[in-house]
Structure 1
Amino acid sequence: MNIRKTVVSGSFYPNDKDELIELINSFSKDINQKYENTFEHINAIITPHAGYIYSGYLANLSFNLASKQNPKRVIVIGPSHQAYFEGSSICLDDFYETPLGNIKIDTKLSKQILQKYDFINQNEETAFEHSSETQAPFIKYYFPKAQLIEIVYANQDINILCTLINELILNKDNLIVISSDLSHFHTLEDAKKLDENCISAINQKDINKLNICEACGKIGISAILKSAIKNSLKTKVLDYATSFDINNDKSSVVGYTTALIGE
């Protein structure tokens, strides 16, 4: 039995189960009063992947709203920060470790995807990737019975990735998670200008606006927007925040957003 072990547990998010549950619960206060879910079904979400102190509230927001559903599997698609390679890598371990308990990986479907798509491979270095790992505790918390598929991309063609998303997105048993932060290390003023392009691109399903957007997961965002257009799905940005909101540093800011894609 192979287990994808945690790498950023204890740094990006608490390693202690009770502390982690308490933190997620704190994120969820007043959500129903502040945010309205106008979707009949949520097919996908866009979530950030920074340390929970910075972006956990936003990540939790989209997971919380999607938790009214009961997906059998959650497919996390995130950018590689540790390794550069061609295409995308898929995890074929048996379980994915979290402080809340292990998540069973859907190895059957993962192997089928690996065999079907030439751009999917296996890269062991992606086992150190935080863009997907930071989503795992939310998955275990909100969908304790769901299985996981982890796809990490590097030099990935958007249209090819979109073909895989199109295969998965209309299946009501699936929830797709697109992992991305927004602009990095600009002044607060410049960050907000750049991030507004990303937010507008998502809300308006205008992929051209992503040309003036800076996001580490822009490939994933582009692919999910192309799929939303093709499949006539709605998009809605829920909220936006920056690292300034936590550390009061205007000189070097990271932006975060979270969004819903659905019917």
Structure 2
Amino acid sequence: MTQRKTVVAGSFYPNSKEEILAFIDNFNKSFKLEKPIDIKPKAVIVPHAGYVYSGFTANLAYNLSSSFSLDKNFKRAIVIGPSHRTYINGASIALYDEFETPIGNIKIDKEYSLKLKEKYNFLHFEEELHFEHSTETQAPFVKNYFDGLEIIEIVYGKLDFNELSLLIDYLLEDEDNFIIISTDLSHFYSQDEAKKLDNICLKAIIEKNLEMFEQGCEACGKIGVKAIIKSAIKKDLKTQLLHYCTSFDVTKDDKSVVGYTSALIGV
């Protein structure tokens, strides 16, 4: 049985089950929503930095999604994130049997993955693309909140967001699918400048305004975010922003920060 091995356990997040569950428990003890959630999520936008920096923000999206009990209807989680280490034209879809995590392995829906690969010519399978933290950091959250779901991992490189949106349109047609779009926001600006740039991204998500993304949004996963927002426009889905922060909250260094956000997309 082939496995998509963990590569950032012990760095981006703990490599022990007990420590990961302690992180999640702590996150869940320390949040209050500013306004009630009125969306039944079909997709989320979540960050992918180390849990100490962005885990709270990501956890919020997973917790709220699972609280709607929609996991009883979902069959698979499709995690879509940008490649940070390896260049690729198009995207790679994982064709392993299992996705390894410290809190238990997740079955990969290989049959569905092969079906997608056959249907969309920008999808390939290149093993080195799956040494990727943008998607891996999501897997423990999936295992914790949606235990029993199968997973699909898609890592993209140079790709037109319109093409990716067509794939997302197809995925959204199936009520079994829960879509996870992984992105961080601006990187290594001052706290004040980061907030200015990130607010463009946040406003574009809230208003579902594709043109606004090109007015200063510097999200590393902008292709994925634009793709899900275009699909949300076409399918008349709602968006709701959940949380925004920067690494300053942890490091107290306001000279060079990274921005993080989470949001729900649904009906």
Aligned mates of 2:251, 2:33 — CA distance in 1: 27
For residues 106-121 of structure 1, the aligned pairs below 5 Å read 106-121=109-124
Distance 1:85 1:33, change over 3 A: closer
**Match of 2:54, SS?**
helix
Aligned mates of 2:133, 2:4 — CA distance in 1: 12
Cross-structure match for 1:14: 14
Deviation at 1:36, TM superposition (A): 2.3
% same residue? 54
Deviation at 1:170, TM superposition (A): 3.3
Cross-structure match for 1:224: 228
Cross-structure match for 1:66: 65
Cross-structure match for 1:147: 150
Deviation at 1:31, TM superposition (A): 4.2
Post-superposition Cα deviations, 1:148-182, rounded to whole Å, max 9, x if no partner, equal: 00000000111111110000113221110000000
Aligned mates of 1:187, 1:238 — CA distance in 2: 23
User: What letter matches 1:179 in structure 2?
Assistant: S
For residues 17-166 of structure 1, the aligned pairs below 5 Å read 17-29=17-29, 31=31, 34=34, 36-39=36-39, 41-67=40-66, 68=68, 69-70=70-71, 71-166=74-169
Q: Tell me the TM-score normalized by structure 2.
A: 0.96
Aligned mates of 2:32, 2:76 — CA distance in 1: 25
Aligned mates of 1:242, 1:33 — CA distance in 2: 18
User: Unaligned stretches of 5+ in structure 1?
Assistant: none
Post-superposition Cα deviations, 1:240-263, rounded to whole Å, max 9, x if no partner, equal: 000000000011010000000000
Aligned mates of 1:171, 1:44 — CA distance in 2: 12
Aligned mates of 2:171, 2:4 — CA distance in 1: 23
Cross-structure match for 1:4: 4
Aligned mates of 2:5, 2:30 — CA distance in 1: 33
Distance 1:31 1:250, change over 3 A: closer
In 1, are the aligned partners of 2:130 and 2:155 still within 8 Å (CA)? no
Cross-structure match for 1:195: 198
Aligned mates of 1:262, 1:196 — CA distance in 2: 22
**Match of 1:28, SS?**
helix
In 2, are the aligned partners of 1:203 and 1:237 still within 8 Å (CA)? yes
In 1, are the aligned partners of 2:76 and 2:109 still within 8 Å (CA)? yes
Aligned mates of 2:220, 2:191 — CA distance in 1: 18
In 2, are the aligned partners of 1:17 and 1:100 still within 8 Å (CA)? yes
Runs of 4+ in 1 over 3 A off after TM superposition: 30-35
Q: Tell me the TM-score normalized by structure 1.
A: 0.97
**Match of 1:114, SS?**
helix
Aligned mates of 2:120, 2:218 — CA distance in 1: 28
Deviation at 1:238, TM superposition (A): 0.7
In 1, are the aligned partners of 2:46 and 2:182 still within 8 Å (CA)? yes
User: Unaligned stretches of 5+ in structure 2?
Assistant: none
Distance 1:30 1:119, change over 3 A: same
Post-superposition Cα deviations, 1:12-57, rounded to whole Å, max 9, x if no partner, equal: 1111111111111111125465552211x21100000000000000
The alignment yields a C-alpha RMSD, in angstroms, of: 1.0
In 2, are the aligned partners of 1:58 and 1:239 still within 8 Å (CA)? yes
